[in-house]
Amino acid sequence: MQTCSTYSRTVGWTTACGRRAVSAAALIVLLTLCAPVLAQDAPTPGQEAPSLALDAPAEVPAATSDSPVSAVLEAAFFYGFALVVIVSALAICISKNIVRMAVWLFITLGSVAVLYFLLAAYFIATIQLIVYAGGTLVLLIFGVMLTSKSPWARFEIKRGELLAAVVVSVLLAVALIGTLMGTEWPQDQPAEPHAVATLGTELLTTYLAPFEVASVLLLAVMIGAAYLARQEK
Amino acid sequence: MTFIGLNHYLVVAAIVFVAGVFVMMTKRNAIGILIGVELVLNAVNINLVAFGRYHSTGSVDGRILALFVIVLAAAEAAVAVAICTNFYKNLATIDVDRGDAAKG
């Protein structure tokens, strides 16, 4: 019995390692794909990113680029990475294993960062990669390791609960997407992207008070988390 | 004829949001619930950045709000993981359904 369980656990580890290798390869491909976007859309102060200017209305004189290739490329990147985001988010929903959930979350966060790049929010994308994919996810994985005897532990839920969750989620999705599809936004043309310097200036002038409050919050969280997780004597 | 508009991003964010809500409802592992919260916060962030991008004057407010959301998410994750380790220390499980000691 013991041998059998050890054997199955070993097999589980091997399979999971193989899948993780596949996931890591996928992520490397993902990051490689990012490179042309970064190169293409590198923000230059006073100059628009070329992909944004296609077919801008005539009252925007700065929109000069007429390359349809960049627009097609932007659309291709958007659809590709939106698909990755959606698929990995749904994979988090259906996977039972907490470690696999964490790996799928990693892929989701990376692809969301690419969406930020496409939205010309370069600083946010970088912060997303550093803080979320680099920090929060590592924290979650440490949490998994600290709180389970075996990281492959499963928690099954009742069938009724699952049914209720599916019904609520489908209703919510239909309501949200239906509302979005029926809404006409006042502006559907992207505005000129800001330089990162604008973000910093705004953060230290208009948003100085929330900035300071956030720093105090981080200090409080640091002390609180260390206090909560301390070793009992 | 722009291929990608505001609604495209909002639909992606809506799907991620619903996935996060579903994860929060179906997982009994506390860390799994935390992963659902992260998904929801990411969906909100996509919305904020997209609205900022498609704002008439290209307002920077959406981006700054997204930045604060990321800070709060990191803080929330740190505290939640500390609570989870405490939970595990006291109950020897991470199943949230077992943490009903305060139930009336």
Q: Which value, in Å, is the radius of gyration of the alpha carbons in chain A?
A: 23
Q: Check CB contact under 8 Å for B85 and A92.
A: no
- Which alpha helices (DSSP H) does A51-130 contain, by range? 68-94, 98-118, 122-127
* pLDDT score recorded for residue A39: 46
A154 and A101, same structural domain?
A: yes
Asked if the C-beta of A38 comes within 8 angstroms of chain B's C-beta atoms, the answer is: no
Q: Is residue A90 part of a domain?
A: yes
A205 and A164, same structural domain?
A: no
Name the closest residue on chain B to residue A226, using Cα atoms. B82
Q: How many domains does chain A have?
A: 3
A165 and A78, same structural domain?
A: yes
Mean pLDDT score, A90-109: 92
Asked if the C-beta of A152 comes within 8 angstroms of chain B's C-beta atoms, the answer is: no
* pLDDT score recorded for residue B35: 94
Q: Is A91 exposed, middle or buried (0-12, 13-18, 19+ CB in 10 A)?
A: middle
Q: Measured between alpha carbons, how far is B68 from B63 in angstroms, rounded to an integer?
A: 9
Q: Measured between alpha carbons, how far is B15 from B20 in angstroms, rounded to an integer?
A: 9
Q: Measured between alpha carbons, how far is A14 from A5 in angstroms, rounded to an integer?
A: 14
Query: pLDDT averaged over consecutive 10-residue blocks of chain B (104 residues)?
Result: 80 96 91 94 94 80 92 93 88 79 68
Q: Which residue has the tokens 């992606």?
A: B12
A81 and A151, same structural domain?
A: yes
Name the closest residue on chain B to residue A103, using Cα atoms. B35
Q: Measured between alpha carbons, how far is A123 from B52 in angstroms, rounded to an integer?
A: 14
* CB atoms closer than 10 angstroms to residue A116: 25
Q: Check CB contact under 8 Å for B63 and A221.
A: no
> Per-residue pLDDT tens for A144-201?
888 877 666 667 788 888 999 999 999 999 999 999 988 888 776 777 777 888 889 9
* pLDDT score recorded for residue A224: 93
A77 and A139, same structural domain?
A: yes
The ipTM assigned to this model is 0.91
Residue A48 has pLDDT above 90, yes or no: no
Structure pTM? 0.78
CB B79, CB A225: distance < 8 Å: yes
Q: Is residue A129 part of a domain?
A: yes
Q: Check CB contact under 8 Å for B81 and A78.
A: no
A78 and A163, same structural domain?
A: yes
Q: Rounded to the nearest 5°, which phi and psi values hold at A102?
A: -65, -40
Residue A44 has pLDDT above 70, yes or no: no
